Structure 1
Amino acid sequence: MCSALPAWAKVDYLIEMSDPEHHLAEITIKFPKGHSELELKMPAWRTGKYKLLNQANGIRHFQAQTKKRKALKWTRRDKSSWVVDNPEQSAIVVKYTLYANELGLRTRHIDNTHAFLDATATFMYSPQLMDQVHKVELKVPDGWKSYSGMVQVDKHQFIAQNYDQLADSPIETGINELHEFSEDGRDYQVVFWGKANRSNDKIVEDLRALVGQSQTIWKGYPYKKYVFMIHATSGATGATEHLNSTVIQRPRHIFGKRSDYLDRFLRTASHELVHTWNVKAYRPQALVPYDYQQENYSDLLWIAEGSTSYLQDRLLLTAKLQTVKEFLTMLSKRVDKFRRKPGTKVQSVKQGSFETWTAQGGDFANNHSAGIYSEGFMASWLLDFQILSDTKLKSGYKNIHQMIYQKKEQLTNNNDPLKTIPFSEEDIKQLLKQLTDKDYQDWWQDNIDSPLSIDFEALLKKAGLQFAALKEKDFKVWTGFKSNESKGLITLTEVEKDGPAWRAGLTTKDQLIAVNGYQVNQQNLETWLKQFKPEDTIELTLFRNQQLVQKSLTLGKIAKKVHQIELMKKPSKKQKAFFKAWLGVDFPEEKSES
């Protein structure tokens, strides 16, 4: 379809790996004629990461000329913008050198074995030409192979229908291993860069079991081809969703142990797959279309991320890639984290969503903020159970996602992968009323507009679950701070709000040197604390701003391990039915979970 367009009606990119050992490439861009002034930009952020990034910082040797190599004047307007004067309105050729050594950010990385290229961090674009066809050609070392979610027209050439598709279709090229399969009429590529300590065939087998389970939530696909790009490496870790692809970075050693493989790879892969619908096929209205030059604020990022985290485990259960016991262990950890986090009582998921772009981390986040992932998960769980209860198990939260996606199918031609359906808060409330015949205004006010307050015992009971009983031996003394060792001193990294250390007046960056007059270090601190009981008061000696300070701390208590969620031994038929409607799998017999 792209080849039928006039030759001038596109933007051509050429990237030459000029010095991969030193992370350098040469970029050439050809823009069509017809503009007396052409503005060029580098995006200030990349899709999938709600933070502004300095993506123009790797550009050097910028130049602009006509096709006949006549130099054109240009000016740098701001950190992300260049303006080229073109009085003859001729076709323009722009060249620059790109430094690409940001693997962990999943923006751009080039070395002697591969290149990962997110277009937002690699290619300038012109706002005047964003709707044109964009072609990318790569000149790479012999033996390299190139892959992307875009249409591939040659070994190292790709076509995007517009800049938005290019921006959401990263390229992986290099010394890699390709696996391909088809499932439910869709084609999949799994590209490995690096070597994991698990068979690539087994990883691909698990991905194949996963992808078809999407249809237990949605009916239809927003793609015909999907690409998994897996970086099994060292140092870098993370993942990013894209239009019909994902890049997953994990240390090569985590693929071996079952718990690591499930927690850090399979759950991530499922999360990114869910994003293909929730964020790519449809997303909050404030992010449609993307504004690449500034923050895209939204009150609904808890749906974009938290609901994706919530739905990911349902796919793993129905795909039989995790057991119910493993799911309950994960859920136990999430509940424990929520109960321990003071910020859940301070900020709503709506506020947390809006502030994601400017959110602080560490101590402040734990004590004063709600996260779009963790608290978004909890809000999604509450909403799911409310819908299940209101519809007598006929529908759940997954049906809301089905309905939003059906709107995309109704409004687009043949599941146009480039068409994103926006939704607003009011849209969700209307869908809830349509699904349940009930007004959710009060529920929304109590759980989305306000900090979450959750009765987990009552929630679990609905599905035949409970917390395991705890005895006194299951608890230990609690200081209320986290720490690490720096220059031989215990440095406080987090002080939990309203915990023992908080009440004692301790703060982050305090350096603890003694307990009850005796020197301690990070290694023996835990041993020292075992001699005390909850409610005991200990005297702490510490440095604060290089001055000695004395503080009295009354110890609290905390469970030694995560409070485990378990199956009830004699659940009712109603509880079993709720469990099945919730997770899509049968309530297990006790012997099957032994």
Structure 2
Amino acid sequence: MKPPVEYRIRPSRPGAHLFEVSCTVLEPDPGGQGFSLPAWIPGSYMIREFARNIVRIEALADDKPCVLEKVDKHSWRTPALRGVKKLAVRCEIYAWDLSVRTAHLDTTHGFFNGTSVFLAVEGRTDAPCAVTIDRPEGVQYADWALITTLPPAEGVSTGRCDFGRFVAPDYDALIDHPVEMGRFARAHFEAGGVTHEIALTGRQDCDVERLCSDLARICAWQIELFGAPAPVTYYAFLVMVVGEGYGGLEHRASTALLCSRADLPWKGMEGLPDGYKSFLGLCSHEYFHTWNVKRIKPAAFTPYDLTRENHTRLLWAFEGFTSYYDDLALVRSGVIGVDDYLALLGKNLSAVMRGSGRLKQSVAESSFDAWTKYYRQDENAPNAIVSYYAKGALIALALDVQLRAGSAGRCSLDDVMRLLWQRHGCTGVGVPEDGIFAAVREVGGEGLGTRLARWLRQAVEGCEDLPLAKLLKSMGVVLEATPAGAAPVLGLKLAPGAGEPRVASVYDDGAAQAAGVSAGDVLLALDGIRIASAKALDDLLVRRLAGEKARLHVFRRDELMAFTLELGEAPADKYVLSLTPRAGAAAVALRRGWLGS
């Protein structure tokens, strides 16, 4: 058995945003020991080159300085180490990225993912790992606590909110438990036999009782969907609360979340504001990943190769199906109503239909190219790519509806997910590239399953719009498309924010593109009237008619330009779903099976 690899991490200089990290190897490779830092983090499909944040690195062989040669952008190697019993590599890592993907440290808190701070030891990634996490030095940090789902070391009196020594069976497990430290609000709830904790870092006035109550219902429903027991006994939501922010990243027993302060519930809050629904949907999404992608994985991810891109054409199922179930879990658990859910569906459908990229890129292609396109979007993204999250969720919806309607409610996408869980999640066997189609075929049976597996392949490999209006009729749901507003449009999107109205994207075949307006242009005036903001532009356009000519002045770089354009008619790209009045008994039964009673 290989000796365990020992790690130690200390917030050495919080004011300078520096972690000090050591990695100690007993009985290192006598021919020379290699080390590397991951180039990406699972769940975020982009090469991020975390090694660029290493400020200093050194090696000690039996406590004496040792040569450590850099081999490539994220790898190092020592020379031959004959007779060396212990090798330690120490590095200083800069942590100033306030996101769910990397690491962040200041005098108020610390957060890190293992992929940003823990070196992988060549030839030892399957060895047990132990890590000691230290509190920063100084009386001002005496009240800092810590939360992580890493198990504490046996025999060490440390809990999940104490600093100390933790263990992992291998490197893959070590880097899949993020850590939050500092001063945070804590709350916990039980669901499905699992203890759940929430840590809220940052200033907030959250009604934690309401949040725990809603999350408990969502988590319990998801555990019931896949079947108890859940694959974890303890789960943590690590929430960084900021003025404006949104994001999440799944891990095997926790999730790191970034949310806006205004999106959290507050004491006395009435109803369900859109921001809170969005936050609950984010929590639901990341929690569903506990099964779908953390344990039910594409074969391309078993195991992960963290040195390079891991391509798969299946992200439409692992992210798209998860995006379908995240909001569905809200309505099935009773946290939101049916009307709220239908509004969320319409919002997602509208977002997909507003981008012409859906007609050029399939979700299978979008999945494969996530590394270079979806995660590296530019100003032409709406015209060139489709979201495997958003359209993948619509494909899941269409598939679920067809399974239910075609079987008179006897089977559904739920059964497909349970089959994938038993066959792949419980066994650790990766899903082959045609595995989702095979599961649909098996669940639906010889006739329905074969037909829907063929339909699904065409849907994910083609670029056609989905016949959702027709399919939803069987559920007693009406789908209608209307213009988002009465005013004519320029065919462009402005960058968010309250500053100067700058063009973020120009849509294909719109008035702005035909006239020559480009992304990056700053809008100045329409027919001689100043455009001071996005609202000012809207106020000008609402007084005009589609087909009228207009003169638009812009700055491109430092040059004044003028364009004559013909105002376009507002497209019917706002999708509204509603219940069919006086739907038949069969449709109502199917709908209840789909959305719950």
TM-score, normalising length from structure 1? Answer: 0.90
Give how far 1:513 is off.
Answer: 3.4
Q: Alignment partner of 1:146: what SS?
A: strand
Q: Alignment partner of 2:370: what SS?
A: helix
Aligned to 1:317: 331
In structure 2, relative to structure 1, the CA distance for the partners of 1:339 and 1:326 (3 Å cut) is same
Q: Which of these residues, 507, 510, 533, is aligned with residue 496 of structure 1?
A: 507
Q: Which of these residues, 104, 107, 112, is aligned with residue 109 of structure 1?
A: 104
Give how far 1:490 is off.
Answer: 4.4
Letter in 1 for 2:74: S
Matches of residues 188-337 of structure 1 in structure 2 within 5 Å?
Answer: 188-220=196-228, 221-256=230-265, 258-337=272-351
Letter in 2 for 1:577: A
Contact 1:228 1:246 in 2 (8 A): yes
**Per-residue deviation, residues 311-340 of structure 1 (Å, max 9, x unmatched):** 112211122111111111111111211221
- Partner Cα distance (2:290, 2:183) in 1: 27
Aligned to 1:145: 145
- Partner Cα distance (1:423, 1:238) in 2: 26
Contact 1:104 1:237 in 2 (8 A): no
Q: Which moved more, 1:171-180 or 1:238-247?
A: 171-180
Give how far 1:271 is off.
Answer: 0.3
Aligned to 2:389: 373
- Partner Cα distance (2:461, 2:540) in 1: 44
Matches of residues 382-393 of structure 1 in structure 2 within 5 Å?
Answer: 382-393=398-409
Q: Alignment partner of 2:9: what SS?
A: strand
Aligned to 2:567: 555
**Per-residue deviation, residues 63-103 of structure 1 (Å, max 9, x unmatched):** 11133x22212101111011122232421111111221112
Is it true that 1:402 corresponds to 2:428 in the alignment?
no
Q: Which moved more, 1:312-321 or 1:482-491?
A: 482-491
Letter in 2 for 1:371: S
Q: Which of these residues, 478, 490, 514, is aligned with residue 479 of structure 1?
A: 490
Letter in 2 for 1:110: L
Contact 1:513 1:542 in 2 (8 A): yes
Aligned to 1:567: 579
- Partner Cα distance (1:487, 1:113) in 2: 29
- Partner Cα distance (2:531, 2:56) in 1: 55
Is it true that 1:41 corresponds to 2:36 in the alignment?
yes
Give how far 1:519 is off.
Answer: 4.5
In structure 2, relative to structure 1, the CA distance for the partners of 1:477 and 1:355 (3 Å cut) is same
Is it true that 1:98 corresponds to 2:93 in the alignment?
yes
In structure 2, relative to structure 1, the CA distance for the partners of 1:191 and 1:474 (3 Å cut) is closer
Letter in 2 for 1:152: P
Letter in 1 for 2:148: S
Q: Which of these residues, 171, 188, 196, is aligned with residue 180 of structure 1?
A: 188
Q: Alignment partner of 1:278: what SS?
A: coil
Letter in 1 for 2:56: H
**Per-residue deviation, residues 387-418 of structure 1 (Å, max 9, x unmatched):** 2233222111121110011124663xxxxxxx
- Partner Cα distance (2:110, 2:497) in 1: 36
Give how far 1:525 is off.
Answer: 2.2
Letter in 1 for 2:550: I
Contact 1:33 1:89 in 2 (8 A): yes
In structure 2, relative to structure 1, the CA distance for the partners of 1:105 and 1:210 (3 Å cut) is closer
What is the Cα-based RMSD across aligned positions, in Å?
Answer: 2.5
In structure 2, relative to structure 1, the CA distance for the partners of 1:544 and 1:279 (3 Å cut) is same
Letter in 1 for 2:398: L
- Partner Cα distance (1:212, 1:326) in 2: 20
Letter in 2 for 1:170: P
TM-score, normalising length from structure 2? Answer: 0.89
User: How high is the sequence identity, in percent, across the aligned residues?
Assistant: 25
Q: Which of these residues, 82, 98, 117, is aligned with residue 76 of structure 2?
A: 82
In structure 2, relative to structure 1, the CA distance for the partners of 1:370 and 1:486 (3 Å cut) is closer
In structure 2, relative to structure 1, the CA distance for the partners of 1:373 and 1:468 (3 Å cut) is closer
Is it true that 1:62 corresponds to 2:50 in the alignment?
no
Q: Alignment partner of 1:384: what SS?
A: helix
Letter in 1 for 2:343: T
Contact 1:346 1:368 in 2 (8 A): yes
Q: Which of these residues, 165, 175, 178, is aligned with residue 170 of structure 1?
A: 178
**Per-residue deviation, residues 233-275 of structure 1 (Å, max 9, x unmatched):** 3455311100111111112232147324433311011001100
Give how far 1:304 is off.
Answer: 1.4
Contact 2:488 2:545 in 1 (8 A): yes
Give how far 1:431 is off.
Answer: 1.5
**Per-residue deviation, residues 481-505 of structure 1 (Å, max 9, x unmatched):** 1235999964322111122222333
Letter in 2 for 1:196: Q
In structure 2, relative to structure 1, the CA distance for the partners of 1:160 and 1:487 (3 Å cut) is closer
Letter in 1 for 2:434: E
Q: Which moved more, 1:557-566 or 1:368-377?
A: 557-566
Contact 1:347 1:370 in 2 (8 A): yes
Give how far 1:429 is off.
Answer: 1.7
Contact 2:130 2:165 in 1 (8 A): yes
Q: Which of these residues, 527, 539, 555, is aligned with residue 539 of structure 2?
A: 527
- Partner Cα distance (1:90, 1:458) in 2: 70
- Partner Cα distance (1:13, 1:528) in 2: 61
Give how far 1:546 is off.
Answer: 5.0
Q: Which moved more, 1:345-354 or 1:507-516?
A: 507-516
Contact 2:486 2:542 in 1 (8 A): no
Give how far 1:129 is off.
Answer: 0.6
Give how far 1:189 is off.
Answer: 2.2
Contact 2:487 2:544 in 1 (8 A): no
Q: Which of these residues, 128, 132, 137, is aligned with residue 133 of structure 1?
A: 128
Q: Alignment partner of 1:357: what SS?
A: coil
- Partner Cα distance (2:53, 2:484) in 1: 56
**Per-residue deviation, residues 181-228 of structure 1 (Å, max 9, x unmatched):** 333322222222224332222222222222110134211322122111
Give how far 1:114 is off.
Answer: 2.1
Contact 1:297 1:354 in 2 (8 A): yes
Task: For structure 1, list consecutive stretches of 5 or more residues without a partner in the other structure.
Answer: 1-5, 412-419, 587-594
Give how far 1:460 is off.
Answer: 2.6
Letter in 2 for 1:150: L
Contact 2:526 2:550 in 1 (8 A): yes
In structure 2, relative to structure 1, the CA distance for the partners of 1:460 and 1:245 (3 Å cut) is same
- Partner Cα distance (2:429, 2:103) in 1: 29
Q: Alignment partner of 1:344: what SS?
A: helix
Contact 2:225 2:414 in 1 (8 A): yes
Q: Alignment partner of 1:29: what SS?
A: strand
In structure 2, relative to structure 1, the CA distance for the partners of 1:559 and 1:430 (3 Å cut) is closer
Aligned to 2:7: 13
Contact 2:359 2:463 in 1 (8 A): yes
Aligned to 1:465: 477
In structure 2, relative to structure 1, the CA distance for the partners of 1:261 and 1:236 (3 Å cut) is closer
Q: Alignment partner of 2:461: what SS?
A: coil
Q: Alignment partner of 1:151: what SS?
A: coil
Give how far 1:25 is off.
Answer: 2.2
How many corresponding residue pairs?
569
- Partner Cα distance (2:285, 2:577) in 1: 23
- Partner Cα distance (1:63, 1:469) in 2: 62
Letter in 2 for 1:113: T
- Partner Cα distance (2:256, 2:484) in 1: 44
Q: Alignment partner of 1:211: what SS?
A: helix
- Partner Cα distance (2:331, 2:500) in 1: 45
